[in-house]
A and B are shown apart, each in its own frame.
Chain A
Amino acid sequence: MVNVNVPDIRISQAQFQPETGPSDVDVPAEVPAAEVSAVRSFLLSRGSSATADRLFAWLMLLCGLSIFVIVSLIALELVLRSQLTWHKFGFSFFYRVFTDPDTHMTMFWDPVNEQFSARPFIYGTLVSSFLSLLLAVPLAIGVAVFLTEMCPRVLRGPLAFLTELLAAIPSVIYGLWAVTVLVPLLREHINPLLIKLFGWTGFFADDNPTGLGYLSAGVILAIMILPIISSLTREVMSVVPHSQREAVLALGATRWEMIRMGVLRNARIGIVGAIILGLGRALGETMAVAMVIGATPEIHRSLLANGSSMATVIANEYAEAVSDMHLSALTEIGLALFIVTIIVNAFAQLLLWAVTRGTPSQVN
C-alpha cells in the first residue's frame, strides 16, 4: 500500500457562493481555509497562454510560408527581368537561328548586335546532362547493388561513407580537378583513342585539341551525380521487403537473378525517380561545367567540340553584361532553367514519394 501524500485541494467556498446581498445572517467570518496546492496557485497566477500560443503558431506559420515566398520571389524576379527579350523575340528565343550581318555565318549569340538565341545552350545542357546520365547510371546502380547485396558487412559503412563524401565535395573543387587532371587526361590519351575508334560515327571529330568540350563536361557531371543516384537507389532497394528476396531464392535463383527479379524489379519506380533527380542536378550544375565545356555558343555534332550550357553562359557573362537586352536574355535563360529544374525535380520527388510512401530521409 503506497503511502502517497496527496495534497488536500478543496475549492474555497467563497468562490462558489452566489452573491446574496447583505444578509443579516451572521456568516462566520472564518471560512475553513481552502488549501490550494502550490502547483494550482502557481498555475492560477500565471493566467492563460492563449495569446502567446496563437502568436507562436502564427510565427511558425510565417516561417513555413517563407518557402512559398522564396519560390514566388524567384519566379517573379526572373519573369520581370526577362521582359525585354520576351517582348522582342517571344518564344522563338529558344530556337531561332540568325546570321551575322558581316560574315554571313550562322550565329546564336551576338550581344553587340543584340541578337540572342538560347539554342546552343539548350543543346549543350541536354548533351552534357544526358551524356552524364549515360555514364553515371550503370555505375551508380552497380555501386548500389554491390553495397546492398554483395558487400561484406565490415566494408559497407566505410564504402557508403566514401560515396556520400563524393556528394559533399563542392563544385569548384571538381572543376579545379577536372581542369588540372581530367582534361589533360582526356586530351592526351582518351580523345585520340575515341577519334580513332569511333571517328566514323561523326560524334568524335578531330578539330578540337584542347580537351574541353561536351565529353569532359559529361564525365565530370557523371562523377558529380553518381552519389545522388547511388544513395537514393540504395534507399529504395532497402525498402523492398525481405520476403521478396527470400521467395526468389527459394525458387532456386542465383544471387544476380535474385537481385534482378526480387529487388530491382520492385524498386524500378524508385530507381527511375533517383535517375531523374540526378538529371535535375546535372541540368543545373554550373561551376564544374563552366570550367570544362569551353564556353563557346555554338552547336557541333562532335562530342569533343567546345560548347556551352545554360548555367555556364549565365555564370560567365552575367557580371560583365552591360546592355539591358543582354541581361534580359541571360535572365530568360535562367527562367527556362528554373522552370525545367522545378518540373524535373517535382516529377522525381513524386516518384520517390510514391515508392518510399512518405518523406525520403535523404535530403540532397
Chain B
Amino acid sequence: MNTQSSNLRSQIRAVTDHTVTGLAIAATLIVIAPLIAIFVYLVYKGASSLNLAFFTQIPKPVGETGGGMANSIVGSAILLALASVIGIPIGIGGGIFLAEFGRGGKLANAIRFTADVLNGVPSIVMGLAAYALIVVPKIPFLPFTGHFSAFSGGVALGFMMIPTVCRTSEEMLLMVPHAIREAALGLGVPNWRSVLSISLKTASPGIITGCMLAFARVAGETAPLIFTVLGNQFWSSSLNQPIAALPLQIYVYAMSPYDDWHRLAWAGSLVLIVLIVVAVSLVRYVTSRGILKGNS
C-alpha cells in the first residue's frame, strides 16, 4: 500500500516535471513566433518597395504612386546627430562623475537611482516637457523657441539618451583596473588628464557600446517627436523648422487609409529595423568578444 502510493506520487512528480518542461518550451516558441512573424512581414512587405526612388525622393501627393521617404531618413539623421551631441557628452560626464569622483557617496547613489527612474519615464512625457520648455515660450533672443522645430525634438531625444549613456559609461569606467589609474597618478599626471586620457580611453569600447545602445533606443522613438518636430512633407534640413523623421512618418502612414502609404510605411520600418538590429548586433559582438575586458 505504501509502495503503491509512493509509486503513484513519484509518477505524478515525474509527469509534472515533463509537463512543465513542455510548457516552458511552448512558452519559448510562443515568444519567438511574433518576433519571426514581424521580421518575415517586414522583409516580405518592405523589401519589394525598397528601390532607389525610396531613398532619393520625397513623398508624392496622395493618389500618385511612387515617391519615397528620403526626407524622413535625412531628418532622422539630423535629429539623431543633435540628440547625440546633447546626450553623449553630458551622459559620459555624468558617468565619469559617478565612477571617479562620487564613488559610494550619497549624491552618487541618488544620481544613479534617479537615472534609472528617468529611464522608465514614458517618452511622451519627455515630449511634453520639451514642448513646454522650447516650443511654447516665445523668447525673442533665443533662436529656436516659440514654434515647432527640429531643435526641440533633438533636445527631447538627447534628454532621453542621457540616463542610459550615464549608467553604462559608469559601469565601464568602474571596470578600469585601479593599477592603471594609480600608475598614471604616480607619474604626476593630473587627475583630469588621467581620467580623460587613460580611464576613458581604456573603457572606450564599452562606452561606445553604451552610446550605441542609447542611440538604437532613441532612433525608434516617435512619441516625443509628435508635437515637437511635427513632421514635414518636404525637404528640410534646418533646425529651426519642423522636420520629417522616419518613425514619425511611419506612424502617420500606418494610420492613413491609403495602400500606397502603407507600402511606404513597411519599407521605412525595414530601414529602421535594419539600422537598429545592426547597432544591437554590434553591441552584442563587442561585449561577447571580451573586448570590454580593458584591452582596446
User: A interface vs B, CB < 8 Å?
Assistant: 39, 43, 46, 49, 52-53, 55-57, 59-68, 70-71, 73-74, 77-78, 80-81, 138-140, 142-143, 145-147, 150, 157, 159, 161-166, 168-177, 179-181, 223, 226, 230, 254-257, 259, 277, 280-281, 283-287, 291, 311, 314-315, 318-319, 331, 334, 337-338, 341-342, 344-346, 348-349, 359, 361, 363-364
| Residue contact B126 to A61, C-beta cutoff 8 Å | no
A257–B251 alpha-carbon span in the complex (Å): 47
Which listed residue (A174, A179, A280, A318) contacts B120, Cβ 8 A?
A280
Residue of A nearest to B213 (CB): A363
Which listed residue (B94, B119, B128) contacts A77, Cβ 8 A?
B128
Check A60/B220 contact, CB under 8 A, given A142-B28, A226-B31, A334-B128. Answer: no
CB distance from A175 to the nearest CB of B (A): 6
| Residue contact A56 to B192, C-beta cutoff 8 Å | yes
B-chain residues with CB within 8 Å of residue A71 when the two chains form the complex: 114, 117-118
| 4 tightest A-B CB contacts, nearest first | A170-B220, A284-B122, A63-B93, A142-B27
Q: Mark B109-150, 1 if CB is under 8 A from A, else 0.
A: 011111111111111111011011100100000000000000
Which listed residue (B30, B133, B163, B273) contacts A169, Cβ 8 A?
B273
A56–B192 alpha-carbon span in the complex (Å): 6
| Residue contact B120 to A67, C-beta cutoff 8 Å | no
A141–B182 alpha-carbon span in the complex (Å): 45
A352–B266 alpha-carbon span in the complex (Å): 38
B-chain residues with CB within 8 Å of residue A162 when the two chains form the complex: 32, 35
| Residue contact B41 to A177, C-beta cutoff 8 Å | yes
B272: Cβ under 8 A from any A Cβ: yes
B184: Cβ under 8 A from any A Cβ: no
B-chain residues with CB within 8 Å of residue A57 when the two chains form the complex: 101, 191-192
Given A172-B254, A348-B120, A349-B116, 14 new contacts (CB under 8 A): A64-B98, A66-B94, A70-B162, A77-B128, A77-B132, A138-B27, A180-B254, A226-B31, A230-B31, A257-B13, A257-B17, A345-B120, A346-B117, A359-B171
B-chain residues with CB within 8 Å of residue A346 when the two chains form the complex: 113, 117
A-chain residues with CB within 8 Å of residue B290 when the two chains form the complex: none
| Residue contact B120 to A277, C-beta cutoff 8 Å | yes
B-chain residues with CB within 8 Å of residue A67 when the two chains form the complex: 94, 111, 114-115, 118, 162-163, 166
CB distance from A189 to the nearest CB of B (A): 15
Residue of B nearest to A135 (CB): B30
B-chain residues with CB within 8 Å of residue A39 when the two chains form the complex: 188
Which listed residue (B89, B94, B132, B222) contacts A170, Cβ 8 A?
B222
| Residue contact A315 to B223, C-beta cutoff 8 Å | yes
A311–B273 alpha-carbon span in the complex (Å): 24
Which listed residue (A146, A280, A318, A342) contacts B27, Cβ 8 A?
A146
Check A61/B31 contact, CB under 8 A, given A173-B273, A346-B117. Answer: no
Which listed residue (B28, B217, B219) contacts A146, Cβ 8 A?
B28
Check A59/B221 contact, CB under 8 A, given A52-B190, A142-B24. Answer: no
| Residue contact A171 to B132, C-beta cutoff 8 Å | no
A319–B230 alpha-carbon span in the complex (Å): 8
B102: Cβ under 8 A from any A Cβ: yes
CB distance from A134 to the nearest CB of B (A): 14
Residue of B nearest to A138 (CB): B27
| Residue contact A363 to B117, C-beta cutoff 8 Å | no
Check A168/B96 contact, CB under 8 A, given A74-B121, A179-B254. Answer: no
Check A284/B31 contact, CB under 8 A, given A60-B100, A181-B37. Answer: no
A-chain residues with CB within 8 Å of residue B126 when the two chains form the complex: 74
Interface band, chain B: 35 or more
B-chain residues with CB within 8 Å of residue A283 when the two chains form the complex: 122
| Residue contact B129 to A177, C-beta cutoff 8 Å | no
A-chain residues with CB within 8 Å of residue B23 when the two chains form the complex: 142
Check A165/B280 contact, CB under 8 A, given A172-B247, A345-B116. Answer: yes
Which listed residue (A43, A164, A175, A319) contacts B226, Cβ 8 A?
A319
A-chain residues with CB within 8 Å of residue B94 when the two chains form the complex: 60, 63-64, 66-67
CB distance from B172 to the nearest CB of A (A): 11
| Residue contact A168 to B132, C-beta cutoff 8 Å | no
A264–B100 alpha-carbon span in the complex (Å): 37
- CB-contacts of B261-277 with A (<8 A): 262, 265-266, 269, 272-273, 276-277
Taking each of B14, B35, B125, B265, which has the highest tally of chain A beta carbons within 10 Å of its own beta carbon?
B125
B-chain residues with CB within 8 Å of residue A80 when the two chains form the complex: 132
Residue of A nearest to B288 (CB): A157
A311–B251 alpha-carbon span in the complex (Å): 15
B295: Cβ under 8 A from any A Cβ: no
CB distance from A317 to the nearest CB of B (A): 10
A-chain residues with CB within 8 Å of residue B247 when the two chains form the complex: 170, 172
Which listed residue (A49, A175, A277, A338) contacts B125, Cβ 8 A?
A338
B-chain residues with CB within 8 Å of residue A359 when the two chains form the complex: 112, 167, 171
B-chain residues with CB within 8 Å of residue A62 when the two chains form the complex: 93
CB distance from B201 to the nearest CB of A (A): 16
Residue of B nearest to A314 (CB): B124
| Residue contact B13 to A285, C-beta cutoff 8 Å | no
| Residue contact A147 to B124, C-beta cutoff 8 Å | no
Which listed residue (B41, B121, B191) contacts A284, Cβ 8 A?
B121
Residue of B nearest to A81 (CB): B132
Which listed residue (A59, A173, A230, A286) contacts B123, Cβ 8 A?
A286
A68–B13 alpha-carbon span in the complex (Å): 53
B81: Cβ under 8 A from any A Cβ: no
Subset of 18 A-B contacts with CB under 8 Å = A60-B93, A60-B97, A63-B89, A64-B166, A68-B111, A71-B117, A78-B128, A138-B27, A168-B280, A176-B254, A179-B255, A180-B41, A254-B13, A254-B16, A256-B20, A284-B122, A284-B124, A286-B223
Which listed residue (A60, A159, A281) contacts B28, Cβ 8 A?
A159
A283–B125 alpha-carbon span in the complex (Å): 12
B227: Cβ under 8 A from any A Cβ: yes
CB distance from B289 to the nearest CB of A (A): 13
